């Protein structure tokens, strides 16, 4: 991974619930235009990445808030109310700690990979611990979207991974690194949701 040296880094927190329990996913983006309004990131995130994630999660998942704040360069904090649910309706979701896992592949050796896990795994899509046939195109779309730069009218947003520690030493401020590709890892668990 290469260190992102741009002026602005935005944190986007996708908040929702599954079976009445809160779930959240955190994404970081380097902004090529620090003056771009956070609504640009939110609008394009919902239209691209969130739609792809919804396609692999059950309708038991409900996302209701997107929180965008500046981590470096800029001075804003904005909440956007959403009403997006998962798209899979043929079966129920596994418990909240069961998740689809994606690895954000490092660019260079010596760095660590990033990871994303999404709750709302359809129980009928799992056969002997693996994804049932016929769904690979949906996971391919999420892989592409997670690693893609989000184009917006007033700039673009580059996905990055936050590094808070290096060699067991806290970094203050944290570093942000770009990554190469995203790779679907299959069914995994999210220990913080157990």
Q: Is-contact 125 135, C-beta < 8 A?
A: yes
CA distances from 130 to 95, 108, 115, 139 (A): 16, 29, 19, 13
The reported pTM is: 0.90
pLDDT in tens, the chain (194 residues): 477 767 788 899 999 999 999 999 999 999 888 777 778 888 889 888 999 999 999 999 999 999 888 887 556 677 888 889 999 999 999 999 999 999 999 887 777 788 999 999 999 999 888 898 899 999 999 999 999 998 877 788 999 998 877 777 877 778 888 898 999 999 998 766 55
Q: What per-residue confidence (pLDDT) applies to 101?
A: 96
What is the signed CA dihedral for 23, 184, 179, 17, rounded to 10 degrees? Answer: -10
Q: What per-residue confidence (pLDDT) applies to 1?
A: 47
Q: How many helices (H) and strands (E) does the chain have?
A: 3, 12
> Structural domain boundaries of the chain?
8-193
């Amino acid at each position: 991974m290469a260190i992102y040296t741009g002026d602005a880094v935005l944190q986007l927190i996708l908040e929702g619930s599954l079976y009445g329990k809160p779930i959240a996913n955190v994404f970081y983006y380097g902004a090529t235009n620090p003056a771009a309004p956070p609504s640009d990131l939110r609008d394009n995130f919902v239209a691209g990445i969130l739609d792809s994630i919804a396609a692999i999660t059950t309708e038991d998942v409900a996302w209701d808030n997107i929180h965008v704040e500046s981590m470096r360069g800029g001075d804003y904090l904005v909440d956007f109310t959403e009403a997006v649910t998962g798209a899979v309706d043929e079966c129920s979701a596994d418990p909240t700690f069961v998740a689809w896992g994606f690895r954000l592949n490092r660019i260079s050796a010596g760095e660590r990979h990033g990871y994303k896990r999404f709750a709302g795994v359809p129980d009928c899509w799992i056969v002997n611990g693996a994804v049932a046939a016929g769904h690979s195109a949906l996971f391919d779309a999420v892989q592409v979207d997670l690693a893609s730069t989000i184009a917006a009218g007033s700039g673009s947003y580059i996905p990055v991974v936050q590094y808070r520690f290096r060699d067991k030493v806290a970094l203050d401020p944290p570093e942000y690194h770009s990554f190469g590709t995203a790779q679907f890892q299959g069914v995994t668990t999210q220990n913080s949701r157990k």
